[in-house]
Structure 1
Amino acid sequence: MQSLLPKIESQLSALPVPITLQLPDGRQVAKPGSRITLAFTEWSALAKLATRQVGAIGEAYVEGRVQIEGAMRDLIDATVSLLPGNPAETNTTWWSRVQRRAKSRGSHSLGRDARQVEFHYDVSDDFYALWLDERRAYSCAYFRDANMTLAQAQEAKLDHICRKLMLKPGERFLDIGSGWGALLMWAAEHYGVDATGITLSKNQHAHVQRLIEAKGLQGRVRVELRDYRELDPAKPFDKISSVGMFEHVGAANMPVYFRKIHSLLVPGGLVLNHGITSGGLDYKQLGAGMGDFIEKYIFPGGELLHVTHVLRETAAAGLEMVDTENLRPHYARTLWAWSDALESQLDKAREVLRGSGGKQGENAERILRAYRLYLAGSAMSFEQGWIALHQMLSTKPDGKVDDGTIRGAQSQYPFVRDYIYK
């Protein structure tokens, strides 16, 4: 292991942030003015640093084999320089594509998807409440004004979606993967729609039920604990949204997902898909071990597709894309806001997780460490362009060429963007 030290010292000298390494034998390798300390208890974890496997170092931190002292923002600045290259580089061999397809097909049954959603979203409502805004909007905010707070930007996002969908009083609106109900409530209270949400998270379902009762919206808002594949197309919806959802669908199930949306939408209706997309055209996950870390500790079964892949599946299902918007840097700013909020109350977060009982309580420190790296690391990934966030608005053409605001529209979409920003 001694042979690793010259290589590691060379790496540290090139970093923009000075770092101190605490070696397993007690020695230190330090740069003057260090703002970050990595204390290793095992030589094997130190070897991962030498090979720039930052995901493996993250796993060692979660499991207690590495201690990290210092600010997450400084750690991320150092991490970018440690990476061996672009972690979103494409792997296009035919065998890798076959393997990914097979894994995707086996990872997204109704039962497995339910368990995977529970793994992430049912950690602890009180834990999420510590670092999300009051509405618990757990998706990319929209900083229409640079001076907006996170809460204001989340409301701007909710309204941006509702405007794009041209929601009107009395319309039947479906939110697929409705989370803690932020969009459901906003659409019902500000646009007068009859709103239905679906989720696989028991915690989120119970929370939204309480919101509906507290706001007296029992007649116009409902939330169901069900998979999108179980929805009945006999009563189609005028408008549909899916926010932070299709990342969990899986590449193999994309045709099923979009065909289901097509069947649930009235002719001429609108659907908006808002979700994370990959920065590479065809890759399994982020390299340098980062994708493996996310799969193990945060989003089991999550799969990212390039926006062109998503739009291809949209078209194949008979839906017409009419507007696509990339909000990538908005998500970086959103994630930094979440990360800063969590970092400012780490002791409270530990207390909340330990008090949640069950496996969450037993694994409180591991969960907290994983989320610290996940939030800051994801912010880095959006800033660097390794992943992106797209809003894709589509229609189900009704075949009525003479109707609509412009001949040939075949839908409610006016084919101008003015209505979104008025």
Structure 2
Amino acid sequence: MALSNRLLLQPAEQRLAGLPLPCAVQLPGGQRIGAAKPRLQLVVRDMRALMHLAQGAIGRLAEDYVEGRLEIEGRLRDLMLAAPALLGTDPTREPAALVPRLLQRMQRAVWERTHHSRAKDAAQIQHHYDVSDAFYALWLDPRRVYSCAYFASPSMSLAQAQEAKLEHICNKLMLKPGERFIDIGAGWGGLLLWAAEHYGVDATGITLSRNQHAYVNRLIEQKGLQGRVRILLQDYRDVDESQPYDKVASVGMCEHVGRPNLPLYFAKIRRLLKPGGLVMNHGITAGGTDNPQLAGGMGDFIEKYIFPGGQLVHVSVMLDTMARGGLEPLDAECLRPHYAQTLWHWLDALEAREAEARRVLGDNAEKVLRAYRLYLAGSAMGFEQGWISLFQILGARPNGQVEMRPGVSTRLRATQSEYPFNRAYMYAQDRTEAMQDAPRARQQRDTETI
């Protein structure tokens, strides 16, 4: 064995010894290090993978697996139990040393300037969402809701939790029949169609994915919703502002906007909203206050294989930028553990239908499957560890009306929006009960004096 390889063995063995479950590594020549009876074994095909193991660079190890330089023998759940100890550091913190910190910030500034033109955003969205509709259909719920579910009861199925999430958002927005509603980044139309069918709104969705655009148009036609529901293949920056909307939703969209464009994004939402209207921004946020992406190569892995152009900010940055854009933050709810559970559901579904996924993906199946299995499992771990989070932020465009309108006695003075400044309407009844009796709840709310 070459000297350079021998020098990697000791730190690699030390990493293995510090893991919370028995793990082993098999080297290209057949030599094994680590536990004699491992629950998890890494088979090194290329010595670069051993170097990454010795460094604790788990994102680089993920890339080694996708590219075939490393094999994983064992359950991904066990790998994710070992990963935080393997990393050995907090991936949400910037480097302590001044030079690496400044270099990282310079790299981030260059990246931010070059990754969010209209053309690049469209290409990046299509790279991810247009992999294959049939592929996503294998492991998402029947409505293809590709965002954090809401497990009002831990025993809910994924499909039930996704419907609970759609209802939770519509309920928070206080949607009413006839209101103009827009879903920015509408995906496969789950929220768009739920709001139209269950709340009677006039609904518009926008997407940059050609596959999603075609799919939702087919659903609109099948459900006979033409004229009241539409999906536009359009950049959010180009949405017509001449007829403001009563309510705006943005689910899983702000992660794609990029930090430099967040002020533009929230300013655009403000212009799209009627005075007094409400917006729900549901998005992934960074767990750390300063890190532009996760360390240990994890952010680089997601950029390369999953979400090119994605960027997270801390919820404090999201709230600050929202407020500077003229929107009043009203309510923030953290759903971090809900996303971890959602991701484990997705991984279980994908692994259960792996043979079908291979047929759907064709020639590139092996690499895509390896990347997505690690992405789903690694993201679930990231949410469990608090390295990343998920917030629903409800906001309003204040209408400037401080005095009460004549005859209105059920609202506080100076609310300046529909929001009643208490959460009672959001949690008026058990969610499973609300799901069964949503029409009655809406009828009650719609007859309220506002």
The answer to whether TM tops 0.5 is yes
Answer yes or no: is the 8 Å Cα contact 1:241–1:271 preserved in 2.
Answer: yes
Match of 1:415 in 2: 421
Deviation at 1:17, TM superposition (A): 2.1
* RMSD between superposed Cα atoms in Å: 1.4
Kindly report which structure 2 residues correspond to 1:46-61, keeping only aligned pairs within 5 A, or say none: 46-61=50-65
Of the three residues 246, 249, 258, the one matched with 2:266 is 258
Match 1:326 to one of 328, 334, 341: 334
State the partner residue of 1:370: 371
Whole-Å Cα distance in 2 between the matches of residues 285 and 312 of structure 1? Answer: 19
Partner of 1:149: 157
- Pairing partner for 1:14 from 9, 12, 18: 18
Q: Which moved more, 1:385-394 or 1:30-39?
A: 30-39
Provide structure 2 residue ranges, at least 5 long, that are not aligned to the other structure. Answer: 406-410, 429-450
Query: 2:302 & 2:86 partners in 1: Cα distance?
Result: 18
Task: Tell me the distance in 2 between the aligned counterparts of 1:105 and 1:166.
Answer: 38
Q: Identity rate of aligned residues, in percent?
A: 59
Mapped partners of 1:13, 1:97: distance in 2: 34
SS in 2 for 1:198: strand
> Kindly tell me: are residues 81 and 134 of structure 1, through their superposed partners in 2, closer, same or farther at Cα, counting changes over 3 Å?
same
Match of 1:298 among 303, 306, 309: 306
In the TM superposition, 1:114-263 aligns within 5 A as: 114-263=122-271
In the alignment of these two chains, the number of paired residues is 415
- Measure how far apart 1:67 and its partner are: 1.1
State whether residues 403 and 410 of structure 1, in contact with CA within 8 Å, keep that contact through their aligned partners in structure 2. no
Q: How does 1:271-420 map to 2 (within 5 A)?
A: 271-354=279-362, 362-403=363-404, 405-420=411-426
Q: Distance in 2 between matches of 1:20 and 1:95?
A: 35
Alpha-carbon distance in 2 for matches of 1:421, 1:124: 37
Residues in 1 aligned to 2:292 and 2:162: alpha-carbon distance in whole angstroms: 30
Equivalences for residues 6-155 of structure 1 within 5 A: 6-90=10-94, 93=101, 96-155=104-163
In the aligned structure 2, how far is the partner of 1:180 from the partner of 1:228?
16
Shift of 1:285: 0.6
Please give the TM-score of this superposition, normalised by the length of structure 1: 0.96
Whether the 8 Å CA contact 1:84–1:288 is kept in 2: the answer is no
Q: Assess if the C-alpha contact under 8 Å between 1:90 and 1:281 holds in 2.
A: no
1:101–1:251 CA contact under 8 A, matched in 2: no
Deviations 1:25-81 (A, max 9, x none): 122224133122211111122111011111111101101111112111011111121
Displacement, 1:102? 3.5
Quote the Cα distance in structure 2 between the aligned partners of 1:111 and 1:380. Answer: 33
> What per-residue deviation string (whole Å, max 9, x for no partner) do you get for residues 270-314 of structure 1?
000000000111112100111110110011110000011111111
Q: SS state of the match for residue 420, structure 1?
A: coil
Post-superposition CA distance 1:158-211 (Å, at most 9, x none): 000000000000000000000000001110111000000000001111110111
CA gap of 1:97–1:20, structure 2 versus 1, over 3 A, is closer
Equivalent residues of 2:181, 2:202 under 8 A apart: yes
Equivalent residues of 2:15, 2:56 under 8 A apart: no
Equivalent position amino acid for 1:71 in 2: R
In the aligned structure 1, how far is the partner of 2:21 from the partner of 2:376? 20
TM-score (norm 2): 0.90
Runs of 4+ in 1 over 6 A off after TM superposition: none
* Structure number with bigger Rg: 2
Superposed displacement of residue 97, structure 1: 3.8
Structure 2 Cα separation of the partners of residues 329 and 90 of structure 1: 24
2:441 — aligned with what? none
Contact map agreement 2:334 2:390 (CA 8 A) in 1: yes
Q: Does the 8 A contact of 2:322 with 2:328 survive in 1?
A: yes
Aligned to 2:408: none
8 Å contact 1:105–1:250 — kept in the other structure?
A: no
Query: 1:13 deviation in Å?
Result: 2.1
1:270 alignment partner, SS class: strand
Distance, in Å, in 2 between the alignment partners of 1:101 and 1:6 is 37
Question: How many Å separate the matches in 2 of 1:379 and 1:333?
Answer: 7
Between stretches 6-15 and 159-168, larger displacement belongs to: 6-15
SS in 1 for 2:224: coil
Of 224-233 and 36-45, the range deviating more from structure 2: 36-45
Shift of 1:346: 1.8
Partner amino acid, structure 2, of 1:37 = Q
For 1:4, the equivalent position in structure 2 comes to 8
